[in-house]
Amino acid sequence: MKYILLLMLTLTLYAQNDFSARILYGNATNKALGDILIGDIGSHPENLSVTAFDMGYLLRRDAFDMPIDIYLKAGLSHFNEDDYSDVNEFVMYVKLLYKLDFANNRIRFGLGEGFSYASDALRVEKLEAETIEDGKTSKFLNYLDITLDFDFGKLIRYKPLEETYLGLALKHRSGIYGLVNGVTKGGSNYNSIYIEKNF
């Protein structure tokens, strides 16, 4: 972890802000997406967690003449499945980041949409699929990445750390009510924290 942080700090020497790198850690919840978005984040009774690393490339800055940056992102995740076999995941998605500047800082609201391919269905997805008759799971599902973060460097007024963001993320896989591989139940939500650096 300390080597990744050192790498992210080193990248500030070459800052052009066309790329981003993010490390993330989260825990599973048995709450639905809608519940989480209104603040009922919950948790899962089993010890299910995820560690992820994403990279992004800036496609458009201030798109639509608004404070919205658009990134193409890809990443790898490792899911710790407690007493079951661990699962690895590849994600690719397009992410919109809405930037709000006030009080000498920047807050960003992010929404990413794309796909997820996992080496196996996650434990939490299998448990959810079991709640309905003929419940399906799939390695390939829709992916959402919903985030809220702030510029840590601006907060502590240390210029080399500007464009280093600390935030909260919701990592979501689902079949969109059966649109993807017939998965109506069998999705997953992971409440996460992360650090992201633009360079």
Kindly report, residue by residue over 145-190, the tens digit of the pLDDT.
999 999 999 999 999 999 999 999 999 999 998 899 999 988 999 9
pLDDT for 77 equals 98
- Report whether 93 contacts 73 (CB < 8 A): yes
pLDDT for 124 equals 94
In the structure encoding, which two tokens stand for residue 24, read together? 């993330």
Paired sense of beta strands 140-151 and 164-174, if any: antiparallel
Handedness of CA 73, 75, 81, 86 (dihedral sign): positive
In the structure encoding, which two tokens stand for residue 8, read together? 């992210």
Specify which residues 107 forms β-bridges with. 100, 150
List the chain domain ranges. Answer: 2-198
3-class SS letters over the chain: CHHHHHHHHHHHHHCCCCEEEEEEEEEEECCCHHHHHCCCCCCCCCCCEEEEEEEEEEEECCHHHCCEEEEEEEEEEEEECCCCCCEEEEEEEEEEEEEEEECCEEEEEEEEEEEEEECCCCHHHHHHHCCCCCCCCCCEEEEEEEEEEEEHHHHCCCHHHCCEEEEEEEEEEECCCCCCCCCCCCCEEEEEEEEEEEC
Kindly report, residue by residue over 27-77, the tens digit of the pLDDT.
999 998 888 988 888 899 999 999 999 999 999 999 999 999 999 999 999
Burial (0-12, 13-18, 19+ Cβ within 10 Å), 134: exposed
For the domain spanning 2-198, the CATH number is: 2.40.160.20
Q: Would you say the pTM of this structure is higher than 0.85?
A: yes
Please compute, for residue 72, the number of CA atoms within 13 A of its CA located in the half-sphere on the CB side: 3
